[in-house]
């Protein structure tokens, strides 16, 4: 698999800006709970904007309520499921990145299943027929992807290329941008290709340390100007993949991708520095002992006074039984208390020390 592109001066400058922002964030120390809250906010924004690109009707505030509080919106059940599945999928992306899980075809098919059907779904098979991308308002043909018989071979080639590229000197943002482009070009599934392509790019960035503390939402900048996003992906005038798209010059797409990434990275670096400069209430000493999952749940208490096991399960992408085991352990560690002992709808609240800390954090 050979991609055609040329490194331009703009691309080189954007790569330099990305590295500078990484260094700024790496050297800036934030209180752990604040850092976890910023990660939660970024994950919610990524969830909202990547689904909004595909037509999801929930607002950012509604998406946050759906994924963190399990709120339902009558008449928009599909939109709610979509953001809930996407949020859990992005949590899984973070886990795979932390574990350095290799990018394989099976992982990509599992990622798609998480996004489209939720945590209990089996890995999605590749499409066995043709799908067509049309302009929503006019029905005009926009893109005709490869025939289904060619999809398995193209996906094998893409995964093999990612493996080789990660071991070479090619900058990671370029690898992520090219993988994003090639995935949507192949369009290996009937639906959910855009969301999966963006999640795959995020995974590739996170695996190689380009997570910027996981405070970023690249999808946000795409959604702000969809014409620019889709225009950059249109690298060839012909709608048929066999009529020149495979040999298209991808410089324009990479210019767009790196420009967008650099803009988000610069913005986050400035925000992190500003947050670090603000005076903060001292953290309880025990707070530093909480692991990542406990910090995510602690962050939920900035929006509500009590939680159920179902709330914890939704926030962490766990089964209700696993959530019950976690909350029982946290009660034993004395940072959670049982607010309502009802067996089926048991609710938890923070202990007094943690309530004081979260109240101070919410007031800032």
What's the whole-number mean pLDDT along residues 41-64? 94
Which range has the worst mean pLDDT, 10-19, 45-54, 139-148? 139-148
Alpha-carbon distance of 35 to 26, in angstroms, equals: 12
Q: Are residues 224 and 295 in the same domain?
A: no
pLDDT in tens, 289-298: 778 788 888 8
For residue 118, being part of any structural domain is answered with yes
| pLDDT given at position 239 | 74
**Position 105 confidence tier, pLDDT thresholds 50, 70, 90:** very high
Do both 170 and 231 map to the same domain? yes
What is the average per-residue pLDDT within 201-226?
Answer: 90
Q: Specify whether 305 is located in the same domain as 263.
A: no
Same domain, 322 and 258: no
Considering the domain architecture, whether residues 271 and 171 belong to the same structural domain is answered as yes
Q: In the 8-state DSSP scheme, what is residue 8?
A: -
Q: Which residue has the higher pLDDT, 193 or 37?
A: 193
pLDDT band at 342 (very low <50, low <70, confident <90, very high): confident
What pLDDT is stored for residue 317 in this prediction? Answer: 75
Q: Are residues 250 and 345 in the same domain?
A: no
pLDDT of the residue at 111: 97
Query: What are phi and psi for residue 203, nearest 5 degrees?
Result: -60, -45
In this structure, is residue 239 part of a structural domain?
yes
Query: Domain end: 221, 251, 276, which one?
Result: 276
Measured CA to CA, the distance from residue 347 to residue 20 in angstroms comes to 45
Same-domain pairing of 336 and 200: no
Q: What pLDDT sits at residue 109?
A: 98
Q: HSE on the CB side for 81, CA within 13 Å?
A: 11
Stronger pLDDT, 246 or 92, i.e. the higher one: 92
Q: What is the mean pLDDT of residues 218-231?
A: 92
Mean pLDDT of 327-342: 90
Structurally, the chain folds into a number of domains equal to 2
Over residues 110-114, mean pLDDT: 97
Q: pLDDT tens-digit profile of 155-186?
A: 999 999 999 998 888 999 999 999 999 999 99
Which of 302, 319, 311 lies closest to 348 in space, CA to CA? 311
The pLDDT value recorded for residue 143 is 84
Mean pLDDT of 54-79: 93
* SS3 label, residue 207: helix
Nearest Cα residue to 141 out of 217, 65, 237: 237
* Predicted pLDDT of residue 302: 73
Return the pLDDT at 19: 94
Question: Is residue 1 in some structural domain?
Answer: no
pLDDT beyond 60 at 363: no
State if pTM tops 0.85: no
Both 122 and 166 in one domain: the answer is yes
- Answer yes or no: do 41 and 181 share one domain: yes
- The verdict on residue 2 lying in a domain is no
Residues 292, 264 within the same domain: no
pLDDT of residue 129: 95
Same-domain check for residues 292 and 244? no
| Maximal C-alpha separation, the chain | 66
Distance from C-alpha of 79 to C-alpha of 62, rounded to nearest angstrom = 10
* Residue 3 counted as domain residue: no
Domain boundary among 207, 242, 276: 276
Residue 42 lies in a domain: yes
Q: What is the CATH number of the domain that holds 343?
A: 1.10.10.10
Residue 362 has pLDDT above 70, yes or no: no
The mean pLDDT value for 31-55 works out to 87
The pLDDT-based confidence of 144 (bands split at 50, 70, 90) is confident
The CATH number assigned to the domain holding 225 equals: 1.10.3290.10
* CA–CA distances in Å: residue 202 to residues 225, 245, 270: 19, 24, 21
Whole-number percent of the chain with pLDDT over 90: 57
pLDDT band at 249 (very low <50, low <70, confident <90, very high): very high
- Would you say residue 9 has pLDDT above 60? yes
- The reply to whether 206 falls in a domain is yes
Evaluate whether residue 4 is within a structural domain. Answer: no
Q: Are residues 174 and 236 in the same domain?
A: yes
- The boundaries of the domain holding residue 105 are 9-276
Tens of pLDDT along 286-329?
Answer: 666 778 788 888 877 877 788 888 888 877 878 888 889 999 99
* Residue where a domain stops, chosen among 243, 276, 309: 276
């Amino acid at each position: 698999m050979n991609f055609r592109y040329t490194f331009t001066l703009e691309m080189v400058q954007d790569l330099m800006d990305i590295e500078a922002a990484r260094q700024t964030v790496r050297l800036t120390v934030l209180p752990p709970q604040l850092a976890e809250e910023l990660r939660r906010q970024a994950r919610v924004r990524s969830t909202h904007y990547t689904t909004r690109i595909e037509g999801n009707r929930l607002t950012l505030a509604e998406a946050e309520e759906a994924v963190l509080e399990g709120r339902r919106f009558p008449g928009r059940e599909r939109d709610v499921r979509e953001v809930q599945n996407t949020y859990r999928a992005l949590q899984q992306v973070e886990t795979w990145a932390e574990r350095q899980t290799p990018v394989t075809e099976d992982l990509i098919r599992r990622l798609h299943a998480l996004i489209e059907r939720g945590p209990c779904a089996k890995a999605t098979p590749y499409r066995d027929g043709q799908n067509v991308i049309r302009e929503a308002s006019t029905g005009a043909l926009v893109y005709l992807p490869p025939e289904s018989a060619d999809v398995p071979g193209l996906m094998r080639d893409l995964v093999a290329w990612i493996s080789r590229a990660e071991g070479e000197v090619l900058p990671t943002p370029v690898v992520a941008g090219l993988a994003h482009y090639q995935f949507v070009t192949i369009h290996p599934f009937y639906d959910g290709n855009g969301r999966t392509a963006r999640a795959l790019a995020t995974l590739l960035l996170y695996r190689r340390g380009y997570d910027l503390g996981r405070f970023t939402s690249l999808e946000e900048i795409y959604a702000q100007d969809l014409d620019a996003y889709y225009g950059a992906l249109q690298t060839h005038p012909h709608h048929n993949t066999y009529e020149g798209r495979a040999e298209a010059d991808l410089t324009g797409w990479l210019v767009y991708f790196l420009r967008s990434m650099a803009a988000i990275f610069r913005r986050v670096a400035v925000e992190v520095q500003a947050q670090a400069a603000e005076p903060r209430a001292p953290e309880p000493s025990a707070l530093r002992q909480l692991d990542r999952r406990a910090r995510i749940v602690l962050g939920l208490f900035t929006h509500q006074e009590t939680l159920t096991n179902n709330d914890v399960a939704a926030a962490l992408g766990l089964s209700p039984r696993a959530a019950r085991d976690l909350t029982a352990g946290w009660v034993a560690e004395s940072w959670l208390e049982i607010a309502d002992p009802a067996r089926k709808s048991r609710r938890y609240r923070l202990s007094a020390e943690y309530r004081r800390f979260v109240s101070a954090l919410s007031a800032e």
